[in-house]
Copies of this chain bind each other. A is one copy, B any other.
Amino acid sequence: MPRFFSGDEPQNGVFTITGEDSRHIGRSLRMAVGEEITVCRSGIDYRCRLDKISDGAVSASIISSEKSKEPSIELTLFQAMPKLDKLEFIVQKSVELGAKRIVPVMTKRCISRPEKEQFEKKRERLQKISLEAAKQSGRGIIPEVSGMISFEKCLEEIKSLDVGLMCYENSGERLKADILPKNGTVGLLIGSEGGFEPFEAEAAKNAGVRLIWLGDRILRCETAPIAAEAIIMNLTDNI
């Protein structure tokens, strides 16, 4: 069923959908009055019937509702800044796999080094990719793509989570269920094309982050987060 996120509360059991989404319902999807959509708001999925359709506004009345199916863990991906097309890919796949938030991090070996303001312009596009992936994959929230932060700030943030993990090719333990919470917050730190400097791995370790080994094969920087996220979701019973 087509899925939309609503920023506004329903009024008397009716959602009013405007803007791009209303045009999408009428024009692209060519939906008719009486057909059903899902409207998602604040972690609730509302099954709705279309009452009125125009380019400017669509009315949809609530038939039933249930809690959106979100993963039991809150997973934040801290991704060392890769080239932009790879970051777009990582955002899309991370949203599909259930990440709650994606945070680009500037590390020593990043080849792509946009200024903060420069990246802010790109963030809008990344946030739109997250929205589209959230609709398509059936998420209950639109995962946030945060502003770029420094490696130091990243360690500070990851420290405040229940479990912090860093994929590091030169060492580390295997991803196993017993190092993950079944509920709670997990931070996953992944390198850019050039990987991490040894001093960064050391600093992460000192901050209580566990170094993780992702197998003998060298994964590209866009493959590693997808693989690790899938495994984490499996080991916490979410996949």
- Name the B residues within 8 Å of A98 (CB-CB): 215, 217
Given contacts A226-B230, A227-B226, A230-B226, is CB(A139)–CB(B237) below 8 Å? no
Beta-carbon contacts of A203-220 to B below 8 Å, as 1s and 0s? 000000000001111111
CB–CB A96/B220 < 8 A: yes
- Name the B residues within 8 Å of A227 (CB-CB): 97, 226, 230, 239
Name the distance in Å between A96's Cβ and chain B's nearest Cβ.
5
CB–CB A97/B217 < 8 A: yes
Beta-carbon contacts of A185-221 to B below 8 Å, as 1s and 0s? 0000000000000000000000000000011111110
Q: Mark A residues whose CB is within 8 Å of B.
A: 69, 71, 93, 96-98, 136-139, 174-175, 214-220, 223, 226-228, 230-231, 233-235, 237-239
- Name the B residues within 8 Å of A234 (CB-CB): 174-175, 231, 234-235
Given contacts A93-B226, A137-B217, 14 further A-B contacts (CB under 8 A): A69-B217, A71-B215, A96-B219, A96-B223, A97-B223, A98-B217, A138-B217, A174-B234, A174-B239, A175-B239, A215-B238, A226-B227, A226-B230, A230-B231
> How far is B227's CA from A93's CA once the two chains are assembled, in angstroms?
10
- Name the B residues within 8 Å of A138 (CB-CB): 216-218
Contact with A217, one of B139, B220, B228 (Cβ below 8 angstroms): B139
> How far is B228's CA from A71's CA once the two chains are assembled, in angstroms?
17
CB-nearest residue of chain B to A98: B217
CB–CB A233/B218 < 8 A: no
- Name the B residues within 8 Å of A93 (CB-CB): 223, 226
In the A-B complex, the 3 residue pairs with the smallest Cβ-Cβ separation, listed nearest first, are A227-B230, A215-B239, A69-B216
